[in-house]
Amino acid sequence: MKALSIHQNLTPKVDKMRPHRSQAGQGIIEALLSLPLLFLAGSILTLLLYRALVFHLTNYHLHEALICTQDASIQFCQKELEGRLSGILITQQRVSIRFQKNQDLTKGTVSIELRPPLKLEKSIRRKLL
């Protein structure tokens, strides 16, 4: 038994928390390889969130503009909508706004040249007199 315990005392103790010399730079290499993937995923997520924000705010402002056409002129409501949409868009994308009014329905269409293009159509019944 003593011979075995002496032999154990002669062997060097290996620190299990420190990496072996052949693995010394592995963490840095793995981080450098994974950073572009993390950056790409973050960029895609940011673009998707921006597109969703533009969609929902455009939908809301188009609805408000359609309600505006009940009491004001189409040109006034269209200018208001253009001003609100310019505050939403980061870059100057081309925006097309069109309103159509008939006897019982007002229809609005907004097209924004994003990639892929964003097109919203909404209609509202005119108030009954």
Does pTM top 0.85 for this prediction? Answer: no
User: 100: domain range?
Assistant: 31-125
What are the backbone dihedrals phi and psi of residue 11, each rounded to the nearest 5 degrees, phi first?
A: -75, 135
Look at residue 100 and give its three-state secondary structure: strand
46 assigned to some structural domain: yes
Question: Is 81 within a domain?
Answer: yes
Bridge partners of residue 123, in order along the sequence = 107
User: Do the domain assignments include residue 18?
Assistant: no
pLDDT tens across the length of the chain (129 residues): 555 555 555 555 655 666 666 676 788 888 888 999 999 999 999 999 999 999 999 999 999 999 998 888 999 999 999 999 988 888 878 899 999 988 888 999 999 988 888 899 998 887 655
As for how many domains the chain has, the answer is: 1
Residue 108 falls within a domain, yes or no? yes
